[in-house]
Chain A
């Protein structure tokens, strides 16, 4: 389904000025938080603790079937036992694809995506990278060369790509830069990895991507904020899109589901 282009209703707006001192915070990212999150979530409290330095937020531990996983606000999951970094929907080369068609999307998004991946590799020091589909956005373009260069800096790293609907590059290319492409489902230690949750094996716990899950956070005063999120149901996890130039599809979690929203680089368990 195409991303819905929506315009928020014009309606009475409620504003919160509970903590007027926030307006005097000086650091730029603190200001960002103030403008986007506090207005919505502050009355609930816990976020305040992160205000000191949101980028230092440690990964959040999440146990699944006895295994330890670490969720990062940088939109990926680290599997401790397998030393694997699991991510999905990077859509590399998307900005290039748009730009080639004459739509001037800032390329800095792409650069930042790669930089973030690099930082995560330094932080978690994984042995393998499991990409649950949509590593590249579309046909080959020059932006891929930057990725190739990036790849050559991490030759030791194993990359396993579960092919997603966007991965339409030639087989040779994947082989040339040492990416193992898996069709359908990859299974490791009873966990399966499938791009689209609809195609997942229901008997195992599966990690999926594809839909770019987002959640609507309702704040006081009828205001809403949409944020990307991790979605955990009893038998599968849907990962947020790693690439920042990606849209969101709203999910509607059931009671027993666990959702972590990512709001301005901070994880919030809902």
Chain B
């Protein structure tokens, strides 16, 4: 059907025209695809009407299907399932949708389903599903854990997955994949099975062949489709494939999609492949660096950048509202304090926002942002996503954003009024970081952006999913295996592993037969079910893949909730100690019942909590760009070619010193510096591949060197390079250096060099929680369940010793290789190094390149104050 001639389009277009809007091209394209019943991915930045591309498409489709009574038709059952990663987004999207429905005078209802939805609302939804349900991946699985879920999706036409780029790289993405494969499975079953029908009255009746065929043709008229909505990522077409994998599984005999008004015969492979609709809307972006006055005096190492705090005051002054992005929660607390100290007049108009601050307070900050009451907000990744705050005109990024995508995402939070320009300032926390600003600029110019790699074979999520199905309707393995293996994540799932997971949830691995009472999933007539109500309830409580560290609530003695803090941090404090949270100085009084009771403190000094959240490594694309920028820097120093980048110009003295003492590597060189200091013999290597790869590479190199000479090392690394330190000369020279960086025997050498057990133990915690091995207790029932508490570390030890082949345990080791050591990236790097020139230098003193790494390794033993002094002294001695 042609979009422009359809009734629905006319209705929607009229409405838009009345409001003075004109649909974007990409929106119209999406609408056309939706009424054609095709599935795909919309690629559009936030704030460009991406919601309407799919939502209005759903309305058009509905109006087309009911051209005569679309205004009066109600109780249509669930039509559009809207999956969003953020709870906070649900409300705003819901409101926007309701507005449209209201103005069009449709009888549709919009429901929200997430952790905040009240039980009465859930019951209401159960009785009569709203036409649109906005849901998080977790709540979607909870829906699948409900008896009768197939009825919920029987009228479903469209699944929309919002912010798919945020979901795809993580386990929540796997959850979405699994939920989709189930719904698609149900839809397929509806086409071929008698047991499940698509009749409106829901009455089950046996059908004659004739009736069945009739039903089938009726069904094929239903345009069931799946649409993802994603910001730009490097692997957009892969993202589409992952999302739609189960839909496009060609082996199945009953394809769900309908082709462009063509017959079955005309269906070519091209037609049924996923569509990607690109918005191609370019928003102007200005990137500026905040430059220190004298580069020689700006610290060469550091994480905080507080020294430049004065410089951001005029920026705050100039713009209506500014978001200041800080990489970690701990540092954001420090920045907030500093800003208040240097500009007391800001108190009341600046706020702090991070993931550990109490919800209500965060809500208040967000509301105040909307209303334009705040001049500035110091925030972390907690404000990366979400609805647009129109008053925000400027964004400041403090420290490396570690990746192009994140930087753009943050920049995009500013300048939302039509035709406004996004403005982002980059504030370096140490001198060398300024190159990153230059690299980010060229990334934006060349539109280089990172990929988000989808995960494979997450046994923990699968285990949870199978239990979810067992809680509600039960499942038959043959059918579900077929569905699960149609997803991207589990396409290579073997029969052996599948059976092991089934064994794990039914008999609990190895056991002492007659003395065992393991009870979880039971098999009855081939159907796998959880029958115990208690086990079922416990499972429902634990659906989800976000595992946070054990958090403790922080409350005032007098009442009043402040936020949460990691148990790890608080366990090191004594009563009377002062710490900072949510921008307040708090004195610890007592820890009671998983709550920290505190009072306000006026102490001058306080401890800033460190949240153990992952320190993200530098992305591969950004690393590559950095190496290219060094090319230019080298050119500038050696050949006097003046760079276009102000950052490189400013850094000139630093680079000149680097070249003078050692060398500036160009993009196809690897620099290795060997320096002798009073600490011992240092070997610095600069691959620019991010700290995780460096960590693994350092261990690998240490191991390979120690194979020829007995030698002890200590290791340090940052995102640019790593250091090996020894008390004896390190035998690396041009005779053996290529061999030391060889990709041969990589896996074997890694296994021998890295304490993989320790690393796997850390990974196992999340897996154990997701896989249902750790029971965190019912809310408010903490004490009763103590007999079922076991720490992840203990479980890891027990499994490692007694059931080493357990799937979840194997997954922990696999995750160490894939994620902790980024094995693929490590191998790529070694191959690159083999093809490049390795430059060995022997500088007389520490160089600007090695300085930050050296300081990082001293950090452990020194307080930050002393460290700052020492950095200053070291730096002075270097400039002599």
Chain A residues in contact with chain B, CB under 8 A?
2-20, 23, 35-36, 39, 96-112, 137-138, 141-143, 145-146, 166, 220-222, 244-247
A14–B753 Cα gap in the complex (Å)? 11
Is the pair B860, A7 in contact by a Cβ cutoff of 8 Å? Answer: no
Q: Which of B538, B715, B788, B803 contacts A98 (CB 8 A)?
A: B788
A66–B519 Cα gap in the complex (Å)? 52
8 A-B pairs (CB sep. < 8 Å): A4-B567, A12-B716, A16-B713, A18-B710, A20-B710, A99-B517, A104-B518, A105-B798
A153–B706 Cα gap in the complex (Å)? 53
Question: B792 contacts which chain A residues (CB < 8 A)?
Answer: 5
Closest residue of B by beta carbon distance from A23? B752
Question: B789 contacts which chain A residues (CB < 8 A)?
Answer: 2-3
Question: A9 contacts which chain B residues (CB < 8 A)?
Answer: 612
A-B complex: 8 closest residue pairs judged by Cβ atoms: A17-B706, A104-B508, A102-B520, A108-B802, A14-B714, A106-B802, A99-B518, A106-B803
Chain B nearest Cβ from A110, distance in angstroms: 7
A180–B505 Cα gap in the complex (Å)? 39
Question: A101 contacts which chain B residues (CB < 8 A)?
Answer: 519, 534-535, 538, 775, 788
B21 at the interface (CB under 8 A from A): no
Is the pair A138, B612 in contact by a Cβ cutoff of 8 Å? Answer: no
Is the pair A12, B856 in contact by a Cβ cutoff of 8 Å? Answer: yes
Is the pair B699, A15 in contact by a Cβ cutoff of 8 Å? Answer: yes
Is the pair B511, A99 in contact by a Cβ cutoff of 8 Å? Answer: yes
Question: A99 contacts which chain B residues (CB < 8 A)?
Answer: 508, 511, 516-519
Is the pair A102, B519 in contact by a Cβ cutoff of 8 Å? Answer: yes
- Given that A3-B791, A110-B512 are known contacts, is A103 also in contact with B717, CB under 8 Å in the complex? no
Chain B nearest Cβ from A1, distance in angstroms: 9
B242 at the interface (CB under 8 A from A): no
B236 at the interface (CB under 8 A from A): no
Closest residue of A by beta carbon distance from B699? A15
Q: Which of B505, B512, B567, B755 contacts A39 (CB 8 A)?
A: B755
Is the pair A107, B794 in contact by a Cβ cutoff of 8 Å? Answer: no
B873 at the interface (CB under 8 A from A): no
Question: A13 contacts which chain B residues (CB < 8 A)?
Answer: 695, 699, 715, 755
Closest residue of B by beta carbon distance from A103? B773
Q: Select the stretch in B262-270, B299-307, B757-765 that faces chain A.
A: B757-765
A222–B505 Cα gap in the complex (Å)? 39
Question: B712 contacts which chain A residues (CB < 8 A)?
Answer: 16-18, 220
Chain A nearest Cβ from B76, distance in angstroms: 39
Is the pair B518, A106 in contact by a Cβ cutoff of 8 Å? Answer: no
Question: B364 contacts which chain A residues (CB < 8 A)?
Answer: none
A18–B399 Cα gap in the complex (Å)? 38
B795 at the interface (CB under 8 A from A): yes
B 840-880 to A, binary, CB cutoff 8 A, 1 in contact else 0: 00000000000000001100100000000000000000000
B88 at the interface (CB under 8 A from A): no
Is the pair B762, A109 in contact by a Cβ cutoff of 8 Å? Answer: no
A4–B794 Cα gap in the complex (Å)? 11
Closest residue of B by beta carbon distance from A6? B568
B210 at the interface (CB under 8 A from A): no
B615 at the interface (CB under 8 A from A): yes
- Given that A5-B792, A20-B707, A35-B755 are known contacts, is A104 also in contact with B798, CB under 8 Å in the complex? no
Is the pair B757, A35 in contact by a Cβ cutoff of 8 Å? Answer: yes
Is the pair A100, B519 in contact by a Cβ cutoff of 8 Å? Answer: yes
Is the pair A107, B516 in contact by a Cβ cutoff of 8 Å? Answer: yes
A13–B754 Cα gap in the complex (Å)? 10
Residue in A14, A96, A137 with the greatest tally of chain B CB atoms within 10 Å = A14
Is the pair B512, A10 in contact by a Cβ cutoff of 8 Å? Answer: no
B 155-198 to A, binary, CB cutoff 8 A, 1 in contact else 0: 00000000000000000000000000000000000000000000
Closest residue of B by beta carbon distance from A2? B789
A36–B796 Cα gap in the complex (Å)? 14
Closest residue of A by beta carbon distance from B806? A106
- Given that A6-B567, A142-B514 are known contacts, is A103 also in contact with B787, CB under 8 Å in the complex? no
Docked complex: B121-150 residues within 8 A CB-CB of A: none
Is the pair B762, A8 in contact by a Cβ cutoff of 8 Å? Answer: yes
Is the pair A146, B798 in contact by a Cβ cutoff of 8 Å? Answer: no
Docked complex: B703-722 residues within 8 A CB-CB of A: 703, 706-707, 710-717
Question: A244 contacts which chain B residues (CB < 8 A)?
Answer: 798, 801
Docked complex: B496-538 residues within 8 A CB-CB of A: 504-505, 508-512, 514-520, 532, 534-535, 538
A220–B715 Cα gap in the complex (Å)? 12
B702 at the interface (CB under 8 A from A): yes
Is the pair A247, B794 in contact by a Cβ cutoff of 8 Å? Answer: yes
B297 at the interface (CB under 8 A from A): no
Is the pair A100, B517 in contact by a Cβ cutoff of 8 Å? Answer: yes
A101–B803 Cα gap in the complex (Å)? 19
Closest residue of B by beta carbon distance from A98? B788
Chain B nearest Cβ from A143, distance in angstroms: 5
Is the pair A3, B794 in contact by a Cβ cutoff of 8 Å? Answer: yes
Is the pair B790, A245 in contact by a Cβ cutoff of 8 Å? Answer: yes
Q: Which of A5, A15, A23 contacts B791 (CB 8 A)?
A: A5
B317 at the interface (CB under 8 A from A): no
Closest residue of A by beta carbon distance from B711? A17
B778 at the interface (CB under 8 A from A): no
A20–B532 Cα gap in the complex (Å)? 53
A33–B724 Cα gap in the complex (Å)? 25
Chain A nearest Cβ from B828, distance in angstroms: 22
Docked complex: B765-792 residues within 8 A CB-CB of A: 765, 772-775, 786-792
Is the pair A14, B715 in contact by a Cβ cutoff of 8 Å? Answer: yes
B271 at the interface (CB under 8 A from A): no
Question: A23 contacts which chain B residues (CB < 8 A)?
Answer: 752
A36–B797 Cα gap in the complex (Å)? 12
A39–B699 Cα gap in the complex (Å)? 13
Residue in A17, A19, A99, A245 with the greatest tally of chain B CB atoms within 10 Å = A17
Chain B nearest Cβ from A206, distance in angstroms: 25
A12–B706 Cα gap in the complex (Å)? 19
Chain B nearest Cβ from A215, distance in angstroms: 15
B559 at the interface (CB under 8 A from A): no
- Given that A14-B715, A18-B712 are known contacts, is A107 also in contact with B515, CB under 8 Å in the complex? yes
Is the pair A143, B802 in contact by a Cβ cutoff of 8 Å? Answer: no
A104–B803 Cα gap in the complex (Å)? 11
Is the pair B538, A222 in contact by a Cβ cutoff of 8 Å? Answer: no
B15 at the interface (CB under 8 A from A): no
Closest residue of B by beta carbon distance from A43? B712
Is the pair A107, B510 in contact by a Cβ cutoff of 8 Å? Answer: yes
B799 at the interface (CB under 8 A from A): yes
B550 at the interface (CB under 8 A from A): yes
A209–B711 Cα gap in the complex (Å)? 43
B614 at the interface (CB under 8 A from A): yes
Question: A7 contacts which chain B residues (CB < 8 A)?
Answer: 549, 568, 612, 762, 765
A143–B713 Cα gap in the complex (Å)? 49
Residue in B518, B538, B568, B794 with the greatest tally of chain A CB atoms within 10 Å = B518
Is the pair A12, B715 in contact by a Cβ cutoff of 8 Å? Answer: yes
Is the pair B788, A15 in contact by a Cβ cutoff of 8 Å? Answer: no
Q: Which of B505, B550, B695 contacts A5 (CB 8 A)?
A: B550
A108–B512 Cα gap in the complex (Å)? 8
A10-B614, A112-B802 are known contacts; what are 11 more A-B pairs with Cβ within 8 Å? A2-B594, A5-B765, A5-B792, A5-B793, A12-B715, A12-B717, A15-B753, A17-B703, A100-B517, A107-B510, A145-B514
A107–B798 Cα gap in the complex (Å)? 10
Closest residue of A by beta carbon distance from B707? A20
B 729-762 to A, binary, CB cutoff 8 A, 1 in contact else 0: 0000000000000000000000011110110001
Chain A nearest Cβ from B575, distance in angstroms: 15
A259–B613 Cα gap in the complex (Å)? 34
Q: Which of B706, B787, B795 contacts A20 (CB 8 A)?
A: B706
Chain A nearest Cβ from B717, distance in angstroms: 6
Q: Which of B539, B614, B702, B802 contacts A15 (CB 8 A)?
A: B702
Closest residue of B by beta carbon distance from A104? B508
Chain B nearest Cβ from A140, distance in angstroms: 11
Is the pair A111, B512 in contact by a Cβ cutoff of 8 Å? Answer: yes
